[in-house]
Amino acid sequence: MAGILYVVATPIGNLEDITLRAIRILKEVTVIACEDTRHTRKLLDHYEISKPAISYHEHNEASRTAEIIERLEAGDHVALVSDAGTPLISDPGYRVVAAAIAAGITVVPIPGANAAITALSASGLPIDAFRFCGFLPPKTTQRRKLLEQLKPETCTLIFYEAPHRILEALEDIAAVMGSREVVLARELTKMHEEFARGKPADLASTISTRGEFTILIGKATAADPVDTPIEDQVTALEKQGMARMDAIKQVAKTRGLSKREVYKKVSE
Ligand code: SAM
């Protein structure tokens, strides 16, 4: 009889964030397929789990998938884990799960930690509808293009981002969606867990850039000034009695632009 492929969520920082069922399954399977065997071994040692581990990562996914499917067909039970959180979610695993389903193997999810959902649950942003967008593109041009595409979405947007790109990402979010509420969830479940809430331009000047980040952006609203052309926004403030340069300064701040950029736009 064929074995079962278990997709097992592991902690995203705090080792206590693993379910009793996940520990039992990891103890019962024949083999554990993990991204980095040394990394996962620390978790396994902590819970006194001594099962053999094999590496399964983006560089050997194709060859390992065939091997894992063969083992499953021969009756082995396999647990698939990633370095942190839920496998497949911005992590390897899709290929083996798809191949297992195609081969008629039973796939059983063992739910647990996930940075996106953990961040969302305490963000204070609307959760009636949200869109998980994975990692932001590493280059500014592609990042801004994607943000422009996502701007009209009327749901909370969730992104993963590397710490060395967090400031650049915030600058681009400020440029494209400067008036939105942004929440930065840093080091979730760890000693220095922090939620920073505010406008993207303000967050860029105050946050620590160390640790792991999940970025959440509040949804578009009908009153979203970013959907209004820059020059109309300046004119609207002038009509309210604000001096032109003060209006330019305010628009620049809310949109995360320089005063020069706004000035140029209204002078065109
Ligand atoms: N599979 C994981 C999950 O279920 O959340 C995500 C893996 S992805 C390779 C790693 C990214 O998730 C990090 O770069 C960061 O953006 C986010 N992340 C992971 N752990 C986090 C944490 N403790 N706090 C904040 N964000 C985290």
What does the pLDDT look like over 212-248, one tens digit per residue?
A: 999 999 998 755 655 567 887 788 778 778 889 988 8
* Confidence at 19, pLDDT banded by 50, 70, 90: very high
What is the C-alpha separation between 175 and 242, in angstroms, rounded? 23
Q: Find tokens 């082995």 and name the residue.
A: 76
- For 120, the token pair is 């969302």
68 and 122 share a domain? no
For residue 223, being part of any structural domain is answered with: no
Q: What is the per-residue DSSP string for 52-113? A: -EEE--TTTHHHHHHHHHHHHHTT--EEE--SSBSTTSSSS-HHHHHHHHHTT-EEEEE---
Instruction: Report the atom number in ligand 1 closest to the C-alpha of 215.
Output: 16
- Domain end point (choices 217, 240, 257): 217
H/E run at residue 184: strand 182-186
204 and 257 share a domain? no
pTM value is 0.86
* Distance from the alpha carbon of residue 96 to the mean position of ligand 1, in angstroms: 21
* Distance from the alpha carbon of residue 158 to the mean position of ligand 1, in angstroms: 11
pLDDT at residue number 266: 86
pLDDT digits (tens, 9 = 90+) for 39-50: 999 999 999 999
What is the C-alpha separation between 137 and 146, in angstroms, rounded? 8
For atom 2 of ligand 1, the residue with the nearest CA is 85
Q: Which of 234, 235, 232 is nearest to 253 (CA)?
A: 234
183 and 251 share a domain? no
Q: Answer whether 214 contacts ligand 1 (Cβ < 6 A).
A: yes
What is the C-alpha separation between 203 and 178, in angstroms, rounded? 11
**Taking 60 as the threshold, does the pLDDT of residue 153 lie above it?**
yes
- Domain end point (choices 88, 113, 138): 113
* Distance from the alpha carbon of residue 152 to the mean position of ligand 1, in angstroms: 25
Instruction: Report the atom number in ligand 1 closest to the C-alpha of 116.
Output: 5
For residue 97, being part of any structural domain is answered with: yes
For residue 154, being part of any structural domain is answered with: yes
| Mutation choice for ligand 1 from 10, 18, 117, 213, CB with most ligand atoms inside 8 A | 213
The 10 Å Cβ neighbour count of residue 208 is 13
108 bridge partner residues = 6
157 and 210 share a domain? yes
pLDDT at residue number 250: 76
- The structural domain count of the chain equals 3
Q: Determine the average pLDDT of the residues in 120-131.
A: 97
pLDDT at residue number 70: 97
Q: Answer whether 162 contacts ligand 1 (Cβ < 6 A).
A: yes
What is the C-alpha separation between 181 and 201, in angstroms, rounded? 10
Q: Determine the average pLDDT of the residues in 70-97.
A: 97
For residue 199, being part of any structural domain is answered with: yes
What is the C-alpha separation between 111 and 118, in angstroms, rounded? 13
Helices 230-239 and 259-267: crossing angle, nearest 10°?
A: 90
Q: Determine the average pLDDT of the residues in 121-137.
A: 97
Q: What is the per-residue DSSP string for 98-131? A: HHHHHTT-EEEEE----HHHHHHHTT-S--SSEE
Judged by DSSP in three states, 173 sits in: helix
β 78-80/31-34 pair status: parallel
* Distance from the alpha carbon of residue 52 to the mean position of ligand 1, in angstroms: 25
| Mutation choice for ligand 1 from 81, 90, 97, CB with most ligand atoms inside 8 A | 90
**Taking 80 as the threshold, does the pLDDT of residue 255 lie above it?**
no
63 and 148 share a domain? no
pLDDT digits (tens, 9 = 90+) for 172-219: 999 999 999 999 999 999 999 999 999 999 998 888 899 999 999 999
37 and 109 share a domain? yes
Judged by DSSP in three states, 190 sits in: coil
For residue 82, being part of any structural domain is answered with: yes
214 bridge partner residues = 160, 185
For residue 222, being part of any structural domain is answered with: no
Whether 11 and 17 have beta carbons less than 8 Å apart is answered as yes
Domain residue limits at 241:
230-267
For atom 19 of ligand 1, the residue with the nearest CA is 115
142 and 204 share a domain? yes
Q: Answer whether 213 contacts ligand 1 (Cβ < 6 A).
A: yes
For residue 26, being part of any structural domain is answered with: yes
For atom 23 of ligand 1, the residue with the nearest CA is 188
Q: Answer whether 35 contacts ligand 1 (Cβ < 6 A).
A: no
For residue 75, being part of any structural domain is answered with: yes
Q: Answer whether 156 contacts ligand 1 (Cβ < 6 A).
A: no
Determine the Cα angle at 245 with ends 239 and 251, to 5°: 75
80 bridge partner residues = 7, 33
